[in-house]
Each structure stands twice: as structure tokens, then as C-alpha cells.
Amino acid sequence: MSDDIRSALGLRPVINVSGTMTSLGASIVVPEAIAAISAILPQFVEVNDLQRKASAIIARLTGGEAGFVTASCSAGISLAVAATITGNDLLAIEKLPDVSTDKNEVLVQMGHVVSYGAPVDQAIRIAGGKVVFVGQATSTHRYHMENAITDRTAAAVFVVSHHVVDYGLLNLIEFVEIAHAKDVPVIVDAASEYDLRIFLEQGADIAIYSGHKFLGGPTSGIVAGQKELVRHAFLQNMGIGRGMKAGKESIAGVMAALEAWETRDHEGVRERETSYLQLWKQALDGRPGVTALIEPDPTNNPLERMRVIVAPQEAHITAWDLSDALARGNPPIIVRDHEVEHRYFYLDPCNLHPGQEKVVAQRLAEELDKARASNEIIATPLENRSRHRFDAALRWPD
């Protein structure tokens, strides 16, 4: 009998080459975190004291003065923004998202207004923040931000993500310089980032990380940074943060995942993932209409992914139809296809169990062979994808 719980639950045994995606369960939780979660689940603890213990570990690994665990990075953004609006005023904390101060404006570069499954600006508005967009989608200059700061500005949010516009915007060092010149705190959304120290080192007042992506902990967010501001964010657990709370298992799991991060063989992980990429490249090289390129991570994480470019006239299938065919097949292979309209998708090697890399290579070959054997090019109109993108969600739970 298979020990894969997905079979018992009637779930598809998907293989994830999309990356650390929340919609797929984010990542493979490390054994140390699983052990810590199992150990604490039967026990009662004083949660705030457990968070105090987590704060010491978070501070050590991030270089911040303090930190705590919350439900997600999205929650962390809301709590950090709320902290800049309410301070330690407990009544103001209870009243959010209604605010009794004009100092609730939050600056975000227009090119950083992305969706991670929900809009970045919504996480700010939930906290009572009034979003002020700075610059244009592909162009933010110093004067844009300098003139956006007023006596109503509570904070400035900087997003680090492969989704943001990666040119023409202010980098973090300049963003911090401009904000701090007028005593505006900077909050960095670094959800999927590998480097736990660089953003605070570059001057951010708070950096927010995922506990369940590269770290391999349970679903969670980590808020780290300047002690007073982190304290004020932590106090939001008496207000809007109540619905974003982290349980004892999440806090203990994140603590264990952070400590495991310190001793992880990062070079060994990179070597293994590189071997997967090479295997896939060998499987795809020479196939008509398919180009496989190994590319670095766009936010400078120490990893690479494979871009699979598909020319439908030669491959007899479009990139989006190949992506869909892989997802429908047995086993289902879920690729990173958020830019598929440009005729490519990505394969991410960071979330595979041993042997799954070979299954991915086999499935790619199967679908490409099937397409080449077709007399006609498999080319579903791209508009159909857009038209039906949310059908399943709108039908849920049916």
C-alpha cells in the first residue's frame, strides 16, 4: 500500500516543478520542522512566551533586533503596516481597519503592485493603510517618491519578487535613503527570498519572509527587524492579527526550520538541483521546436530554473497547451506558466522528491512525442485560457 496520504484523500499526486507556490502547498517541510511540530502538538504552551523564544532565533538569523511568526507573508505585511499606523495604542489597534489618524498613507512603487495570489495593496488596505502609488509601472524616479512623502505618510513598502518590474524602478538602498530622510519606516516583502539578512542590512526597518518556502517550515510568515516596530506589529494580534494568528505548531516548526537552515548543506542542494536541470536539458535538446535554457533566478536567489521555449509550428503544440497537457497527465506535472503567453514556461527543480526528476523528463518526452505525431498543431486559442481561468474556483467546492 502506498504511504502517500494523497491517495487516501482522493487527491491527485501532483509533481511540482512550478516552485514554492502556496497553491501547491509551498514546499517540502524539512524533517526537523516535522519533528518539532509533532513534539509540541500534544502540549500546552504560553504562546507569547513561545513567540519570545522564536524572536531570539529570528533575530540571530536575520540580523534584526526582534521577530515573530504569523500566518503568512501577506499577514506580515498587514501587521507591519498596522504597526506604523497605531504604534502601541491598544484602542487604535482594536479599531482597525478604521483609523483615527491622517497618518496612514503607505507608499508603493507602481511597478511593485503585483499579485501573489491576492493584490499587494489589499494587504495594506486591510490594515487601514491608504495606498499611494509612486511613479509609473516601468518608471520610478527619486522625485516621484520624494514628492509622495507628506506628513500623512506612515510607511513605505518595497516588494522583492519575480513578479515585479525589474527595471526602471528605485532599488532598495535608494528607496530606504529617500524614506529615512523623512523618517518614514520601510517594510520589505521578501516572501520567497533566500538571503535572510540582506534587506535589513540595506536599511529596511522590517523584512517579512515566508517560513514555508525556501526554509521548508510550516505555512507561516516571519516578521523581523527593528524591535519597537516589530513589537507594535506583534501587538496587532490583539486586533486584526487575531485572524492571522500562528499556532504553537507553526511557531515551533519555524524555529526548527530556521535552525536547520543554519546547518543545511546549501551547496549540496544546489548540486542536486543542477543535476535535475541538466537531465531535463538532455531530454529536450534536439527536439523540434523546443529550446531549453538554464537561467538564474531573477531576484538573485542562488538557484537556476529551466525556461522551455516552444515554437508550435515545429513542436506541433503551443507552450500553454503543453503546460496543460502535463498538468492533466499521469502523474500531473505542474510547471511555472505565469508567462506562458510569451511561448515559454519554466521548470523549477527545488521541490522534488528523489526520482521525480526522471518522471518529469519522461512526461515531457511523452507529451512532445504525442504532439509531434499529431497531424495538426495543437493550438487552443490563448483567449480560452483567460476566459476560463477562474471557472474551477467559481464552482468550488463542486
The pLDDT of residue 1 is 37
The pLDDT of residue 147 is 97
Enclosing H/E stretch for 191: none
Its sign, for the CA torsion 271, 27, 127, 164, is: positive
Grid coordinates representing 79 are 501587521
Q: Across the 398 residues of the chain, what is the mean pLDDT of every consecutive 10-residue run?
A: 80 91 87 97 97 98 97 96 97 95 96 91 96 96 97 97 91 98 97 92 97 92 98 98 96 96 92 95 95 91 93 95 94 93 94 95 95 91 87 89
CB of 113 closer than 8 Å to CB of 119: yes
**Per DSSP, what are the bridge partners of residue 378?**
317
pLDDT digits (tens, 9 = 90+) for 14-42: 999 998 888 888 889 999 999 999 999 99
How many helices (H) does the chain have, and how many strands (E)? 17, 12
What distances in angstroms separate CA 90 from CA 93, 134, 205, 243, one per listed residue?
Answer: 5, 31, 22, 17
Grid coordinates representing 96 are 482597525
The pLDDT of residue 386 is 83
**Per DSSP, what are the bridge partners of residue 343?**
none
Residues 6+ apart with CB under 8 A from 131: 105, 106, 108, 121, 124, 125
CB of 100 closer than 8 Å to CB of 236: no
DSSP per residue, 70-132: ES-HHHHHHHHHHHHHHTT-HHHHHHTTS-S-S--EEEEEGGG--BSSSBHHHHHHHTT-EEE
Instruction: Indicate the pairing of strand 105-109 with strand 130-134.
Output: parallel
| CATH (residue range 5-22+266-393) | 3.90.1150.180
Helix/strand/coil (H, E, C) string of 203-264?
CCCEEEEECCCCCCCCCCEEEEECHHHHHHHHHHHHCHHHHHCCCHHHHHHHHHHHHHHHHC
Within 10 angstroms of residue 357's Cβ, the number of other Cβ atoms is: 23
pLDDT digits (tens, 9 = 90+) for 176-189: 999 999 999 999 99
Question: For the packed helices 73-86 and 227-234, what is the interaxial angle rounded to 10 degrees?
Answer: 100
User: How far is 312 from 310, CA to CA, in rounded Å?
Assistant: 6
The pLDDT of residue 2 is 56
Residue whose entry in the numeric block shows the C-alpha cell 533566478: 297
Residue 145's SS3 state is helix
| Fold of the domain built from segment(s) 31-263 | Aspartate Aminotransferase; domain 2 (3.40.640)
CB of 227 closer than 8 Å to CB of 235: no
Domain boundaries, the chain: 5-22+266-393, 31-263
**Per DSSP, what are the bridge partners of residue 221?**
70, 210
The pLDDT of residue 301 is 85
